[in-house]
Structure 1
Amino acid sequence: MRQTFLAVLSLSAMAALLTGCGGDMVLLNSKGPVAEGQSNLMMIAIYLMLLVVIPSVIMALWFGWKYRASNKDAEYKPTWAHSTTIEIIVWGIPVIIIGILAWLTWWGSHKYDPYRPLESDKAPLTVQVIAEQFKWVFIYPEQNIATVNELRFPEKTPLSLRITSNFTMNSFFIPALSGQIYAMAGMQTHLNMLADETGVFRGFSSNYSGYGFSQMHFKAHSVTEAQFANWVESVKTGNGISVNPEAIQKGILDQTEFATLRDGNRSTHQIEAMIANAETPEEKAAAEALTPYPTKPHPVTYYSSVEPKLFESVINKYMSNYHGADHSAPAAGHANAAHENVEHATASGEE
């Protein structure tokens, strides 16, 4: 009896944690139209399924009580085999619910397609997102600035994200504003979102990508248009710390600086194991030369300018065999052509 009680208590606690009771209920407290629509679809689906689950649970308990061995008044029909009414109910209601869920899935998939631009009287803000090794790099091509592990944008303004990866596949996710979308090397995915109000929202990678995966999170700041313009101007003039004193201000984000963002080769435990298992002095020296992954997230960093087409170069270097051409170090003409091909492929995906 005690073990049964503990098992039920453990399952109840786990269910409370999974549903967000007493914790972060961000999926049910969305701050943007996309996340709100997805949350509503999720709740509608749950309510529809409860139309089957709740009556089934109630009837299971009721049948067990009514037809218990001690109830001598229960109706006994040993030759009963079929009821058309029951067949219609147990098959008809689920079929109707599944049909409604299928329509909602089709409608929601088109309505909240991450590639679909949001309707607004304001022009969208374009941000290029690069999933670097256990950190996020955000490039603002129109403002010619960049950040690491911080995303800022004005409220009630559509945000158009262009997302890729400079190492393994990752997943970009700001639960309060939109669903997740993958970041893949050599490819470009799109995500459109909007914040209805100002605030700071949690962003992270929702796809396990290695030992330093737990450090791959950032803050998304929704601010007023005046605050955003002031922040952009501060970063461009090398004074971004006036807005965020905890940030690090740097100059240009070029290929040389971008390469320094790739920090760490192995986890500390992996390096120690490699040193211990080295069979030759050369292997041991090579293992000792490795640097461990950081145990804390990369600090927020601002860049006052960005090398032109840095985002496109990250995509192109993973397309060295694209149409038989070498894009690992493209000339200007080849880089532009490759960029046009990437944009064309993306546009075709949107259509």
Structure 2
Amino acid sequence: MRQTILAVLSLSTLAALLTGCGGDMVLLNSKGPVAEGQSNLMMTAIYLMLLVVIPSIIMALVFGWKYRASNKDADYKPTWAHSTAIEIVVWGVPVIIIGILAYLTWWGSHKYDPYRPLESDKAPVTIQVIAEQFKWIFIYPEQQIATVNEIRFPEKTPVNFKVTSNFTMNSFFIPKLAGQIYAMAGMQTQLHVLADETGVYRGFSSNYSGYGFTQMRFLAHSVTEPEFNNWVEAIKAGKANSINPEAQQKTVLDAAEFATLKDGDRSKHQIENMVKNAHTPEEKALAEEAERKGPFPTKPYPVTYYSSVEPNLFESIINKYMSNYHGADHSVQAGAEHVNAEHATASVEE
């Protein structure tokens, strides 16, 4: 008996720790209208389901006690077969609850559609999000700056995230502001959020995408509008370190710089074995590539600011995968068409 009690107490303690009791229950501590609405929907669904769960638990305990073998006063009806009242309750209540949940699901799916722009008297801030291996790259197309593993935006202002990936499928998630949205290569997904107040919110990858995915963490800063403008100007002037002393400041994020941001996806031990056991030209090439990329990260990539961005870099990353999907290199094709057009123009002039 004592061992049973200790086991139950241990499991209860472990369950409390795993559920974050005593800490910040982030999904129930929303800081924006989207997350708040989703949290309310979740709690409403839980309360409705408890209308069945709690009575069922109580009845199981009461019936077990009432009809125990030692209770000689309990009714004994071996020929009992049917009760209309019980059938109505057992089937009617769940059907009603399922109907309500179905309506809430339909309503919530439209109300909190991640593609649906938020209503506000302020113009939204657009942030292009790229899931890289293993970090998050953010491009501000209107401000012409870029960051790695950090974003800032004004409070009480809609933020329009446009999300894609430059490697495997990933998941972009800021729990206190909105639900997760997938990042997929060759595709663009959208997420609209708004922060009700200033603060710093955790963001991360909620989808396993390799050994280094646990390092895909970033901070989302909701600041006042003057602070946001000062931050943008500081990055453009190459002085953003005055705002975040731990950040790295760089000049331009172009295709060449972007290519250097990809991390390796193997451990140091795996790379050493690849180099040691490489015999064929193909194996040696793979080993050299693995050495060049290096091992997967064991800590998040440092926050980095870029004072300018190559135009249409975000679109070029999406198009790169689309051209591969259709079996053609669109950039080469476009170049050939341009050359043919020049030849045609020259012929007409002659």
TM-score of the pair, normalised by structure 1: 0.90
Aligned ranges 1:1-351 → 2 under 5 Å: 1-275=1-275, 278=277, 280=279, 283=283, 287=287, 290=291, 291-321=294-324, 325-327=328-330, 331=334
Query: 8 Å contact 1:316–1:328 — kept in the other structure?
Result: no
Return the letter of the residue paired with 1:208. Answer: Y
Whole-angstrom CA distance in 1 between matches of 2:336 and 2:30: 44
- How far 1:95 moved relative to its partner? 0.6
Q: Secondary structure at the match of 1:318?
A: helix
Q: Which moved more, 1:302-311 or 1:323-332?
A: 323-332
Change in 2 beyond 3 A, CA 1:331/1:251? farther
- How far 1:293 moved relative to its partner? 1.4
Whole-angstrom CA distance in 1 between matches of 2:96 and 2:251: 60
Change in 2 beyond 3 A, CA 1:51/1:18? farther
Whole-angstrom CA distance in 2 between matches of 1:328 and 1:71: 84
Q: Which moved more, 1:154-163 or 1:315-324?
A: 315-324
Kindly name which structure, 1 or 2, has the bigger radius of gyration based on alpha carbons.
2
Query: 8 Å contact 1:164–1:187 — kept in the other structure?
Result: yes
- How far 1:324 moved relative to its partner? 5.7
Return the letter of the residue paired with 1:306. Answer: V
Alignment deviations for residues 299-347 of structure 1 (CA, whole Å, 9 cap, x no partner): 000000000000000001101146564225574899xxxxxxxxxxxxx
Q: Secondary structure at the match of 1:55?
A: helix
Return the letter of the residue paired with 1:93. Answer: V
- How far 1:12 moved relative to its partner? 1.9
Query: 8 Å contact 1:188–1:315 — kept in the other structure?
Result: yes
Change in 2 beyond 3 A, CA 1:75/1:333? farther
- How far 1:75 moved relative to its partner? 1.1
Whole-angstrom CA distance in 2 between matches of 1:273 and 1:57: 57
Q: Which runs of 5+ in 2 are unaligned?
A: 338-350
Query: 8 Å contact 1:247–1:301 — kept in the other structure?
Result: yes
* Count of residues in Structure 1 that have an aligned counterpart in Structure 2: 333
Query: 8 Å contact 2:250–2:307 — kept in the other structure?
Result: yes
Whole-angstrom CA distance in 1 between matches of 2:137 and 2:103: 38
Whole-angstrom CA distance in 1 between matches of 2:303 and 2:25: 26
Q: Which moved more, 1:221-230 or 1:11-20?
A: 11-20
Change in 2 beyond 3 A, CA 1:42/1:286? closer
Query: 8 Å contact 2:210–2:265 — kept in the other structure?
Result: no
Alignment deviations for residues 200-228 of structure 1 (CA, whole Å, 9 cap, x no partner): 00000000000101100100000000000
- How far 1:237 moved relative to its partner? 0.6
Q: Secondary structure at the match of 1:190?
A: strand
Alignment deviations for residues 17-52 of structure 1 (CA, whole Å, 9 cap, x no partner): 343312231100000000000000000000000000
Q: Secondary structure at the match of 1:258?
A: helix
- How far 1:295 moved relative to its partner? 1.1
Q: Which runs of 5+ in 1 are unaligned?
A: 335-351
Whole-angstrom CA distance in 1 between matches of 2:239 and 2:264: 29
Q: Which moved more, 1:123-132 or 1:1-10?
A: 1-10
Whole-angstrom CA distance in 2 between matches of 1:120 and 1:253: 32
Whole-angstrom CA distance in 1 between matches of 2:278 and 2:336: 49
Change in 2 beyond 3 A, CA 1:239/1:333? farther
Change in 2 beyond 3 A, CA 1:333/1:224? farther
Whole-angstrom CA distance in 1 between matches of 2:117 and 2:145: 23
Q: Which moved more, 1:29-38 or 1:3-12?
A: 3-12
- How far 1:8 moved relative to its partner? 2.3
Change in 2 beyond 3 A, CA 1:18/1:36? farther
Alignment deviations for residues 280-308 of structure 1 (CA, whole Å, 9 cap, x no partner): 38657963762211211100000000000
Query: 8 Å contact 1:317–1:329 — kept in the other structure?
Result: no
Q: Secondary structure at the match of 2:61?
A: helix
- How far 1:82 moved relative to its partner? 0.8
Alignment deviations for residues 78-111 of structure 1 (CA, whole Å, 9 cap, x no partner): 1111110011011111110010000000000000
Q: Secondary structure at the match of 1:122?
A: coil
- How far 1:14 moved relative to its partner? 4.0
Change in 2 beyond 3 A, CA 1:48/1:265? closer
**% identical equivalent positions:** 80
Change in 2 beyond 3 A, CA 1:333/1:119? farther
Query: 8 Å contact 2:186–2:321 — kept in the other structure?
Result: yes
Whole-angstrom CA distance in 2 between matches of 1:11 and 1:332: 65
Query: 8 Å contact 1:254–1:306 — kept in the other structure?
Result: yes
